[in-house]
Amino acid sequence: MYLPRLRELREDFDLTQRQVAEVLGIDQRVYSTYETGKRELPLRHLAVLADYYHVTTDYLLGRE
């Protein structure tokens, strides 16, 4: 599933993929696959990112 808001939020916060990957405790290359939709974002990471960016999971999923 492609989640364009992942990239939008990261860029709005002036963060690199590496910085966000560190928040999630994963490698930058893995995070990159989440942004491009090549790999599905696990629920545990979805929740962490929603808290980190102060948005809802629905927002990240494009449901808002």
Check which CATH number belongs to the domain holding 49 and give it: 1.10.260.40
Q: How many helices (H) and strands (E) does the chain have?
A: 5, 0
Return d(Cα 30, Cα 56) in angstroms, integer.
Answer: 22
Helix (H) or strand (E) holding 55, with range, is none
Nearest to 53 by CA among 24, 31, 18, 29: 24
Domain hosting 26: range is: 4-60
Q: What is the pLDDT along the chain (64 residues), one digit of tens a residue?
A: 778 899 999 999 999 999 999 999 999 999 999 999 999 999 999 999 999 999 999 999 988 7
Positive or negative, the Cα torsion across 47, 3, 7, 18?
Answer: positive
Q: Name the domain count of the chain.
A: 1
